[in-house]
Amino acid sequence: MRLILLGPPGAGKGTQAAQLVERYGIPQISTGDMLRAAVRAQTPMGLEAKACMDAGALVTDAVVVGIVRERLQQQDCAQGFILDGFPRTIPQAEALKGTLTALEMPLDAVVSLQVETNALVERLTGRRTCRNCGRGYHIRFDAPAKEGVCDACAGDLFQRDDDQAETIRHRLEVYHQQTAPLEDFYQAESLLKKVDGMAPIAVVQQQITALLQVI
């Protein structure tokens, strides 16, 4: 299963990807997670990406295309993968197409999560992430048993720097300008599957798995 999860920031891509990883045993490739790891490790790429990420802007196509191309060639992607947060621009989508053609690994589907803007803002402002294992939560919609503490590993939960109201607004603008056109791109490739992302987390997961059964 080779899949792209498409959708604006806060649509639920990471949440759904984590459950698909469990279900299908294939890796999640999140460019956001990879870039945040590079920032933490203070690699040259991380240092370059940090300013863009803090501002809610996109990191350059060349950087993200490079990290995804390398990642896709690792052994654990041979049985499939779930791309989360990539591609985000038409040039990224074109580059991905070239890479996957060369690797003889065509995509099976592009699942686009449809969520209203007001809900995105509420989801992003309430998002919390475990500092230790990376598991995602929401203070209202997916709350941990104990406030501020991860259910899975007891790590402490933090709020991402770019999940502040002002940065969120900019990220949503960037999405509409640069990423939304990918729906037409993948529609033209007959790969696009739209899913109602407004439903509860478990219902969205059911919708995705139902459509993956028939592709």
Instruction: Please state the closest distance from residue 146 (CB atom) to ligand AMP, in A.
Output: 25
**3-state SS, residue 129:** strand
Please report whether residue 171 would count as binding ligand AMP according to CB under 6 A: yes
Instruction: Please state the closest distance from residue 87 (CB atom) to ligand AMP, in A.
Output: 6
Q: Name the active-site residue from 36, 128, 135, 171.
A: 171
Query: Could you count the other beta carbons within 10 Å of the beta carbon of residue 91?
Result: 14
Contacting positions for ligand ADP (CB under 6 A)? 7, 9-15, 123, 126-127, 136-138, 141-142, 199-201, 204
Six-digit token string for 163: 């999940």
Instruction: Please state the closest distance from residue 127 (CB atom) to ligand AMP, in A.
Output: 10
Q: Would residue 131 show up in a list of annotated catalytic residues for this protein?
A: no
Cis peptide before 27 (omega within 30 of 0): no
Residue, CB closest to ligand AMP: 32
- Residues 18, 51: Cα–Cα separation, whole Å: 27
Q: Binding residue for ligand AMP (CB under 6 A) from 1, 21, 52, 90?
A: 52
Please report whether residue 28 would count as binding ligand AMP according to CB under 6 A: no
Q: Name the active-site residue from 36, 88, 123, 193.
A: 88
Which of 184, 212, 215, 214 lies closest to 16, judged by CA? Answer: 212
Provide φ and ψ at 40, rounded to 5°: -60, -40
Residues constituting the chain: 215
**Considering beta carbons, is residue 72 or 154 the nearer one to ligand AMP?**
72
Instruction: Please state the closest distance from residue 29 (CB atom) to ligand AMP, in A.
Output: 10
Q: Pick from ligand AMP, ligand ADP, none: which does 52 bind, CB < 5 to 8 A by kind?
A: ligand AMP
Strands (E), the chain: 2-6, 28-30, 81-84, 109-114, 127-130, 136-138, 157-158, 192-196
Helix H or strand E segment including 102: helix 90-102
Query: Could you count the other beta carbons within 10 Å of the beta carbon of residue 179?
Result: 22
Q: Binding residue for ligand AMP (CB under 6 A) from 26, 53, 157, 208?
A: 53
- Residues 176, 139: Cα–Cα separation, whole Å: 26
Give Dmax (Cα) for the chain: 48
Q: Would residue 160 show up in a list of annotated catalytic residues for this protein?
A: yes
Q: Binding residue for ligand AMP (CB under 6 A) from 39, 88, 93, 128?
A: 88
Q: Would residue 88 show up in a list of annotated catalytic residues for this protein?
A: yes
Give the residue carrying structure tokens 């996957």. Answer: 100
Instruction: Please state the closest distance from residue 20 (CB atom) to ligand ADP, in A.
Output: 12
Catalytically annotated residues? 13, 88, 127, 160, 171
Judged by the rule CB under 6 A, the positions of this chain that interact with ligand AMP are: 9, 31-32, 35, 52-53, 56-59, 64, 85-88, 92, 162, 171
